[in-house]
Amino acid sequence: MIDLKTRPPLNVADRVRAIPVRQKYLPVTATAVLLALMYGLGVINYPGFSDTQIVLNVFVDNAFLLVVAVGMTFVILTGGIDLSVGSVVALTTMIVALLLENGWPAAVVLPVALLMGATIGFLMGLMIHYFDVQPFIATLAGMFLARGLCYVISTDSISIDNPFWVSVANAQLWFGGFFITISVLIALVVVLVAAYVLAYTTFGRDVYAVGGNPQSAMLMGLRVGRTRIAVYTISGLCSALGGVVLSFYMLSGYGLHASGMELDAIAAVVIGGTLLTGGSGYLFGTVLGVLVLGLIQTIITFQGDLSSWWTKIFIGMFLFVFIVLQRAVTRRRR
């Protein structure tokens, strides 16, 4: 007979599996309810807020953040963190602008930029796994490196006037009287691919297992090191792609672009219901988290008499609430 009093405490993965389905989906449901309430309040208080194009504009204005947040979701699902994403985004815009300015064809610039981001993520993953460096420290080093390289390239903004880049930036995809940009289409494709990988592939299951309990995953024969390195490579790739999307949006490269974006990405992922301890979360929740952040900015714009800094205040409040909610859902039942 098993002595329940001497039974070892459940690990994170066990606790998540032990949570009833209703509680397991509670953070994502709370995010969806919050988003609906925010939109409803906007419709009630501001004329024109119910226009469908307003919602689509949230996607248009935050497509680059959505791409970056997808990569951050992979990292946080393994129980890690990536502080370098904003700096990699800025470095990507600088590299894109510099190469285009020097006459490089867009077909070459794009893969070079993506390879650069993936390489930075790969190196950070190697440092974290093989040298047992904490993700916070390794990615902090990556953040300083990427941001510093921006200013080695130039301390000024570099405009992008490449015909292909400009045409993509200005292109609008119309349907039913409304439009989205190619950047939104790129972001949605990234979300769909990432959601499929997490839900239906062996790698996706490994990501959740490593986040739930890396020691147990290793004893089960899973390649923990390969998974950790892969998620940081994915995060670097998504950051670079987010930088490309931001260069479409801004048509410039600048060392101050994406300042603080790493915090926005983390906030979007956590508000979307992904556990900071890893092992539980959904790409759909990350999309909702990005929409919450975008809708906050939209409401403040419609209000007109509030400083943009109120965006950070509301994000901080929501982040605190969702972290407490996560703790309430995943705490061990006594």
Length of the chain: 334
Write out the two tokens for 333. 């039942």
Residue 275 lies in a domain: yes
In a domain, 30, yes or no: yes
CA-based max dimension of the chain? 75
From first to last of its 334 residues, what are the pLDDT tens digits of the chain?
Answer: 444 444 444 444 444 444 455 566 788 888 999 999 999 999 999 998 999 999 999 999 999 999 999 999 999 999 999 999 999 999 999 999 999 999 999 999 999 999 999 999 999 999 999 999 999 999 999 999 999 999 999 999 999 999 999 999 999 999 888 999 999 999 999 999 999 999 999 999 999 999 988 888 888 888 889 999 999 999 999 999 999 999 999 999 999 999 999 999 999 999 999 988 888 889 999 999 999 999 999 999 898 877 777 888 888 888 888 888 777 766 654 4
Distance CA 162, CA 262 (A): 28
Do 124 and 143 touch, CB atoms closer than 8 A?
no
Nearest to 83 by CA among 138, 148, 149, 151: 138
Torsion angle of alpha carbons 254, 258, 262, 266, nearest 10°?
-160
Domain that holds residue 186: 11-39+52-330
**Do 312 and 320 contact (CB within 8 A), yes or no?**
no
Which CA distances in Å does 248 have to 89, 95, 97, 125?
12, 13, 11, 28
Pairing of strands 178-181, 252-253: unpaired
Cβ count near 170 (within 10 Å): 11
Question: What's the pTM?
Answer: 0.90
Question: Within a domain: residue 6?
Answer: no
pLDDT confidence of residue 210: 92
DSSP 8: P
Query: Has residue 220 been placed in a domain?
Result: yes
Domain count within the chain: 1
Tokens of 129: 């796994």
- The vertex-323 CA angle with 242 and 269, nearest 5°, equals 15
Task: Render 292-305 in DSSP notation, one character per residue.
Answer: HHHHHHHHHHHH-S
Give the domain CATH number at 86: 1.10.3470
At 2 the pLDDT is 43
CB 109 within 8 A of CB 97: no
Residue 137 has a pLDDT of: 96
Q: How far separated are the first and last CA of the chain, in Å rounded?
A: 20
Is 5 contained in some domain? no
Instruction: Specify if 4 maps to a domain.
Output: no
Contact 117, 88 (CB under 8 A): yes
What's the Cα-to-Cα distance from 287 to each of 7, 62, 135, 252, 316, rounded to whole Å? 39, 10, 24, 26, 18
Cα separation of 289 and 305, whole Å? 25
